[in-house]
Amino acid sequence: MNATYKETHRGIVYIVGAGPGDRNLITLKGVECLQKADVVIYDLLLNNVLLDHCPAHTEKIQAPDPRIRTTRQAELNNLLIQHAKEGKVVVRLKGGDPYIFGRGGEEAMELVKAGIPFEIVPGVTAAIAATAYAGIPVTHRDYASSVAFVTGHSAAIHPESNIKWNYLATAVDTLVVYMGVAHLQQIVDLLIKHGRDTQTPVSLVRVGTTPQQLVVQGTLSDIVEKVEAAQLTSPALIVVGEVNRLRDQLRWFDTKPLFGKRILVTRARAQASDFSDLLEEKGAEVIQFPTIEIKQLEETVIPTPEKYDWVVFTSVNAVEIYYQYLLRNGKDTRAFGDIKICAVGPKTVEAINHIGMRPDFVPSHASGKTVATELDDVNGKKILLPRAKIATPDLPNILRERGAIVDDVPLYDTVKVTNENCNAVETDLLDGNIDIVTFTSSSTVTNFLGMFPARTAKDLLTNVRVAVIGPTTEATAKEQGISVDIVAQETTIESLTDAMVESYSNYLI
């Protein structure tokens, strides 16, 4: 390596394997590289959610499409070298593993020639990930003691190919072919010609590890016909061998209760991740479409808690914003002293516990009327109610009717956001390409409809099911002309997820 370059530049390239599709299959080191990247050059078919790991300043560049430009690889190599020579931390984010049919070795060689320091971060390759998600172990003591990974593109089936199909056809128990869907017939013919039994089980796994995963099974004698009938197209793996017989017993991914269902999440982006995680655990494809943003009200005069008998927190946002206010003013949980705390809902309880306190009272339900009527001995008591600006008046009104002195303090507002995906979401809704739309507050309902001013609720939601988090949100949805299909029993995202699973199961019966 050129010593002068090393001494005067900090640029480096990390060639990172992103895994096959499931965003959680990237390695910890891969995430760490993204977190310090100045530039990311990423492949076309990657899960773009991975780019959320990047800092705000990161320049994100989609790699040239090889189907459009034959000079793609040369352009890409030049991009890596150019940005690294500018002293940047460059991440080359590749699907699967960089060194398994990923041209990572070629890119690394170009960096060596240019004197650019680099590191390789291995990734989970599709041959072991997509098969595992399909319920097919590539090796098994009773079925397969050997496995080979082979490329199936046109060069590999050319008569002058360096792949020895005459040996490979019977040399290994399990054969996994990448990039071979377009040449499935030729591959089948080669395997049969060179001795593989026509009744050998075969599976094709399309977009494995994602909620769109599709598996077609057959034997060498009929797999081409079955793939054509299923209209299966690339990207997909071809798996040949007796291990395919285990799929019926070992399926676990595509049997999840919400597998393949496309679910639109409309809550604020900062709060959407936990909900998305729950839905993805059930097998759903989540489309994040935030309609609101939580904005702290700067002009509000916020009292400290010392003069009150009760502080009632009705949301996680209220806890977090109020506690940050105390910290900015040189106070902490000790400011609450002997003051009693009411926390509405399990998530609010968790937020209270997180800052080192325990609530004195948790109502049985999250409605304002329930909180106000179940809170004991409020006559003459001073109650602080820090909450959202748009919160309904039921809670403070009933408390005052019971003789309490209530300071209803707006801490934050839920404001409408613009969303660049409106056109795509509108098309998917009208075409029935979204299965469920979720609303977790009244403001998500009204703001969602406001994003499509040319459409009525009936226009947008005729072809989808609607799930809401509780009676207040349900009432708002119905007022707006929305037919509600699913209502959570409790006002939590866990309850809403459970309700969707149960309702969808019943819906399919």
Q: Which of 394, 465, 405, 471 is nearest to 436 (CA)?
A: 465
Judged by DSSP in three states, 151 sits in strand
Q: What angle do CA 472, 478, 480 make, to 5 degrees?
A: 110
Q: Could you give the CA distance from residue 274 to residue 493 in angstroms, rounded to a whole number?
A: 8
What is the predicted pLDDT for the residue at 69?
Answer: 57
pLDDT on residue 67: 61
Q: What one-letter code names the amino acid at 131?
A: T
Domains and CATH numbers, the chain: 10-124 (3.40.1010.10), 128-250 (3.30.950.10), 262-291+417-508 (3.40.50.10090), 295-414 (3.40.50.10090)
Give residue for tokens 């207040």: 472
Q: What is the pLDDT of residue 392?
A: 84
What integer pLDDT is reported at residue 352 of this predicted model? 95
Buried b (16+ CB within 10 A) or exposed e, 120-139: bbbbbbbbbbbbbbbbbbbe
- How many C-beta atoms surround the C-beta of residue 214 within 10 A? 18
CB burial of 350-388 (b: ≥16 within 10 Å; e: otherwise) equals: ebbeebeeebeebbeebbbebbbeebeebeebebbbbbb
| pLDDT for the residue numbered 7 | 42
**Residue 240 identity (one-letter amino acid):** V
- Does the pTM surpass 0.85? The reply is no
How far is residue 487's CA from residue 438's CA, in Å, rounded to a whole number? Answer: 10
Phi, psi dihedrals of residue 273, rounded to the nearest 5°? -65, -45
Tens place of pLDDT per residue across the chain (509 aa) = 444 444 445 799 999 999 999 999 999 999 999 999 999 999 988 888 899 999 999 999 998 876 665 678 888 999 999 999 999 999 999 999 999 998 999 999 999 999 999 999 999 999 999 999 999 999 999 999 999 999 998 878 888 888 999 999 999 999 999 999 999 999 999 999 999 999 999 999 999 999 999 999 999 999 999 999 999 999 999 999 999 999 999 999 999 999 999 999 998 877 778 899 999 999 999 999 998 888 888 878 899 999 999 999 998 999 999 999 999 999 999 999 999 999 998 889 999 999 999 999 999 887 788 888 999 889 999 999 999 888 888 899 999 999 999 999 999 988 878 777 899 999 999 999 999 999 998 889 999 999 999 898 988 999 999 999 988 899 999 999 999 999 998 888 999 999 999 987 765 54
Alpha carbon distance 54, 39 (integer Å):
9
How many whole angstroms separate alpha carbon 267 and alpha carbon 414? 10
DSSP 163: S
Query: What confidence score (pLDDT) does residue 489 get?
Result: 87
How far apart CA 424 and CA 426 sit, in angstroms, is 5
The reported pLDDT for the residue numbered 153 is 84
